[in-house]
Structure 1
Amino acid sequence: MNTTNYDIVVIGSGPGGYVSAIRSAQLGYKVALVEKYDTLGGTCTNVGCVPAKALLDSSEHYHKADAQFKAHGIKLSAMELDFNQFIHRKNEVVKQNALGLVYLMKKNKIDVHYGLGSFIDATHLKVSSDKEEQVLTSKYFVIATGSKPSSLPGIIIDKKRIISSTESLSLPSQPASMVIIGGGVIGVELASVYARIGTKVTILEYADSLIPSMDRDLGKALQKSLTGLSIDIHLSSKVQTAVNTGEAAVVGYLDKDGKQQELVADYCLVAVGRRAYTDGLNLQAARVEAEKNGKIKVNNTLQTTTPNIYAIGDVISGPMLAHKAEEEGTLVAEVIHGLKPHMNYNLIPGVVYTWPEVAGVGATEEELKAKGIVYRVGKFPYMASARARASMDTEGFVKVLVAEAYNEVLGVHVIGPRAADVIGQAVVGMAHETTADEMAHLSYAHPTYSEALKDAFLMASGKGAINI
């Protein structure tokens, strides 16, 4: 069995893992990256963020062609969807991103080992594949093994009719109908993909709002938008069973009134969240402790209970977001190097890539009320935006929450065109403790979607909106 020595070994090649490996190499360390599967990139690149966004964009083009092109003076006849090409384009996007990661590993002189990583002790990791077994020794390890889809008690994801988000990205043909269990980020995004191309979609959500972790106004507005796509949405619904009958999936649930209901569809997509994935790591051998929920226990520098081993991303507490994992990957590399990096978890934006997009950063209005914090609200609708009217994207609004004391920006919440990009300006402002008045008096290009931010800040500062 071969043995190779390294300074830092990163286990998992998702966004957190590959960023941590690259930053470590940039700081001069001899680095290895261990990946269980035969492609780099983890969930995000292969069966998560990237392929989902590819399908979201394709389905949005199809929807706009069907619903809006006539208003633009563009006439189409006999429009149809080539579902095989729809999936093929997504596959090509994934392939190019994965190849880009291979290039980055070579450029930064990072050794890549494919196989299942399993700790022998705190300084030795066995990597097993179909071809060979080898042992990597290292001064430091970074666990970045990500997460896997969760299910509900009694519901088995058979990957045939009862599927997870992974299978939903590569169906063999367009389904006529789909029931989605879960109205969180994954559920509403995939509901958008399939509803836009003509699949009959029903969402069953246990909470009384879609995207329940975000500001409640965003969930209400998104529900209205998705209903406009003919998606049936059932809130306060408790799913009890999901059965593969061979030709269909049958889902049983209690509705908001406690009455037993049943739905039949081609597929049942289980989108109720994700769980930390540490299977096969043999954490006990390295004396790395986990929390009751399966996530790895870390301190404020992301060090585990074994000092030379760190953990980042979905395997530790906090939002399961690729960009959160990336920042943690950089932080760990710099901590090992003796630097003093800092992360403000309050300033990690959350994004939903429906159309209109949804994004938020900082406190929600519900959180401020619960804490008894006195605040003002500034809210500006995209219906009043010249840029939004020009693109026929007038759904949504920008909502800013500002403290009465010192005009501090406490939270920014956006549902509308390019919300995922607009939120970045709010993050910068909050990171530098820019007041609402200062944000309102910056120069915003006209006409742009981000001007809605300016007007929301003006309104929160007691002034009226000035842009259209």
Structure 2
Amino acid sequence: MKHYDCIIIGTGPAGQKGAIQAAKLGKRVAVIEKNSVLGGAQINTGTIPSKALREAALHLTGVNRRGLFGNTTCVKSDITVADLASVSQQVIRQEWDVIRSQFDRNHVELLWGRAEFQSPNEVIVHGPDSSEVITADQFLIAVGTRPARPENIPFNEGSIFTSDEILKLDRLPRTMIVVGGGVIGTEYACIMSTLGVRVTLVEGRDRLLGFLDREICDAFQYFLRQKSVTLRLGEKVEEIKEVEVQNGTPHTLVQAQLESGKTLRAETLLYAVGRQGVCGALGLDKVGIEFDDRERLHVNDDYQTNVEHVYAAGDVIGFPALASTSMEQGRRAICHAFGQCDVGNYNTSLFPYGIYAVPEISMVGKTEEQLTEEGIPFEAGIAHYREIARGQLIGDELGMLKLLIHQDTHEILGVHTIGTGATELIHIGQAVMALGGKAQFFINNVFNFPTLAECYKVAAYNGLNKLNHV
């Protein structure tokens, strides 16, 4: 029976970084993967495919250049899902090779099969040909999640599907209903709208992406409506089914009946309401670990479950369920497991959030609503891309960056941005916040010209001028 210092279950972002970190600490590491490919949802069905699809859509339609060049931009006609999926597959194959190379270079042993605990320190690996029992001192559960698939919804992978099946579409539909206004739903709604699909987005809450700063959210919803996306906010879907339509040539449409009595119809429907954990098959009852009704694990600040030597990281522990945060969670969990607690003074509240919609959205720190609720005095400094030469050069005059500045200390409490390059731009503010910087830093700093980074200087001036009543 093989014994390891650490066994990691899952090769998604949390599992990858956790395995490499353990190897760098000189530990004997095994990582178990139940699927036939590496990378989990990040590489195969989630982060990389959706972002590749987005980049392909932007490139093939030329949408990012229309603001500057108007109708002179040549765009590709008759775009098919196959066009977009081919770009995604190239990236996915390269990522598989990168992960496998990292494991090999760091002597991480890769075991193919389904993991199931037999006791607190024993795991059986149900491989494709045989099973074996292995043991370890420490464990990291990084099994991720899958799209929720309620039993009352007639999924068929052709017209009613989840985000896992969207790249399998054999054609680009003319119309689509997207149920769910979270990150996945809004990203795909934007991508499909960019490709000319007529999209209706249904969300049970009164706004999309409820964790965003309200002003950024309002701007995003305005952009969506300008792109002809129909928003049905505060609406819940009561029933989804296929119906025969006799308008002209008889054909089948998907019908979503809303609780308010409205009836929506489209060629396709993407169901993107939540994700479901996959802990049920791990045998966690034999370890004494419980999970909630969505099969998610509860962990402490060090990513430990209620069993001291079993850690969990990534989507399986819930929000924010981003690849970037999952990577750091996996690394930190392993560091703590092996007594390496000095992992820097980085505040987990400063994890950046990136939403790859059209336009991009990113944030770090507190929102206006949070600061108001906590009674923290602040002022908002805003810079619009249209004020920045770079914004005009790239044809994006609708983007904006907002700094939330403490009224007394002038510390940066939050950064919120929407527009081209938002997910890149956010890291400047993140670094300044992590180092305790103040708004004056941006005023005294020199930024390359012309760049979108100049938004920080403009926003800082705007906020401080308000505070100084000038």
Tell me the TM-score normalized by structure 2.
0.92
Aligned partners of 1:267 and 1:187: how far apart in 2?
14
Q: CA deviation at 1:382?
A: 0.8
1:333 aligns with 2:334: yes
- Alpha-carbon deviations, 1:387-409, whole Å to 9, x = none? 01101111121111111131121
Q: CA deviation at 1:70?
A: 8.8
Kindly tell me: are residues 126 and 245 of structure 1, through their superposed partners in 2, closer, same or farther at Cα, counting changes over 3 Å? farther
Aligned partners of 2:275 and 2:3: how far apart in 1?
34
Match of residue 446 from structure 1: 449
Match of residue 369 from structure 2: 366
Kindly tell me: are residues 157 and 454 of structure 1, through their superposed partners in 2, closer, same or farther at Cα, counting changes over 3 Å? farther
Q: CA deviation at 1:316?
A: 1.6
Mapped contact 2:362–2:422 kept (Cα < 8 A): yes
Match of 1:107 among 105, 110, 130: 105
Kindly tell me: are residues 260 and 152 of structure 1, through their superposed partners in 2, closer, same or farther at Cα, counting changes over 3 Å? farther
Q: CA deviation at 1:251?
A: 0.5
Mapped contact 1:327–1:343 kept (Cα < 8 A): no
Aligned partners of 1:93 and 1:117: how far apart in 2?
28
**Could you tell me the percent identity over the aligned residues?**
30
Match of 1:248 among 238, 241, 253: 253
SS at match of 2:111: strand
Match of 1:426 among 422, 426, 429: 429
Mapped contact 1:356–1:395 kept (Cα < 8 A): no
Mapped contact 1:379–1:399 kept (Cα < 8 A): yes
Q: Tell me whether 96-105 or 15-24 shows the greater mean CA deviation.
A: 96-105
Match of residue 316 from structure 2: 315
Aligned partners of 1:77 and 1:283: how far apart in 2?
52
Match of residue 306 from structure 1: 307
Q: CA deviation at 1:75?
A: 5.8
Amino acid in structure 2 at the alignment position of 1:220: D
> Superposed, which structure 2 residues align to 1:350-389 within 5 Å?
350-389=353-392
Aligned partners of 2:155 and 2:407: how far apart in 1?
49
Mapped contact 2:379–2:466 kept (Cα < 8 A): no
1:458 aligns with 2:461: yes
Kindly tell me: are residues 65 and 356 of structure 1, through their superposed partners in 2, closer, same or farther at Cα, counting changes over 3 Å? closer
Q: Which runs of 5+ in 1 are unaligned?
A: none
Kindly tell me: are residues 455 and 309 of structure 1, through their superposed partners in 2, closer, same or farther at Cα, counting changes over 3 Å? same
Match of 1:191 among 162, 180, 189: 189
Q: Tell me whether 27-36 or 399-408 shows the greater mean CA deviation.
A: 399-408
SS at match of 1:61: helix
Q: CA deviation at 1:47?
A: 0.4
Aligned partners of 1:67 and 1:219: how far apart in 2?
24
Aligned partners of 1:384 and 1:152: how far apart in 2?
47
Amino acid in structure 2 at the alignment position of 1:251: A
Aligned partners of 1:274 and 1:317: how far apart in 2?
9
Mapped contact 1:301–1:335 kept (Cα < 8 A): yes
Kindly tell me: are residues 116 and 252 of structure 1, through their superposed partners in 2, closer, same or farther at Cα, counting changes over 3 Å? same
SS at match of 1:294: coil
Q: CA deviation at 1:155?
A: 3.3
Mapped contact 1:374–1:404 kept (Cα < 8 A): yes
Q: CA deviation at 1:66?
A: 9.6
Match of residue 140 from structure 1: 138
Match of residue 235 from structure 1: 233
Aligned partners of 2:334 and 2:86: how far apart in 1?
37
Amino acid in structure 2 at the alignment position of 1:407: H
RMSD of aligned alpha carbons:
2.1
Amino acid in structure 2 at the alignment position of 1:200: R
SS at match of 1:166: coil
Q: CA deviation at 1:67?
A: 7.0
Mapped contact 1:118–1:282 kept (Cα < 8 A): yes
Kindly tell me: are residues 211 and 317 of structure 1, through their superposed partners in 2, closer, same or farther at Cα, counting changes over 3 Å? closer
SS at match of 1:378: strand
Q: CA deviation at 1:355?
A: 2.6
Aligned partners of 1:220 and 1:205: how far apart in 2?
15
Mapped contact 2:67–2:396 kept (Cα < 8 A): no
Q: Which runs of 5+ in 2 are unaligned?
A: 245-251
Kindly tell me: are residues 73 and 305 of structure 1, through their superposed partners in 2, closer, same or farther at Cα, counting changes over 3 Å? closer
Match of 1:174 among 168, 172, 175: 172
Q: CA deviation at 1:463?
A: 6.9
Kindly tell me: are residues 84 and 443 of structure 1, through their superposed partners in 2, closer, same or farther at Cα, counting changes over 3 Å? same
Aligned partners of 1:77 and 1:403: how far apart in 2?
46
SS at match of 2:11: coil
Amino acid in structure 1 at the alignment position of 2:280: D
Aligned partners of 1:357 and 1:66: how far apart in 2?
12
> Superposed, which structure 2 residues align to 1:24-423 within 5 Å?
24-64=22-62, 68=66, 71=69, 76=74, 79-151=77-149, 154-245=152-243, 247-254=252-259, 259-291=260-292, 294-340=295-341, 341=343, 344-423=347-426
Amino acid in structure 1 at the alignment position of 2:60: Y
Tell me the TM-score normalized by structure 1.
0.93
Mapped contact 2:61–2:76 kept (Cα < 8 A): no
Q: CA deviation at 1:167?
A: 0.8
Mapped contact 1:178–1:269 kept (Cα < 8 A): yes
Q: CA deviation at 1:106?
A: 0.8
Q: Tell me whether 378-387 or 271-280 shows the greater mean CA deviation.
A: 271-280
Mapped contact 1:152–1:272 kept (Cα < 8 A): no
Amino acid in structure 1 at the alignment position of 2:192: Y
Amino acid in structure 2 at the alignment position of 1:217: E
Aligned partners of 1:279 and 1:293: how far apart in 2?
10
Aligned partners of 1:75 and 1:383: how far apart in 2?
21
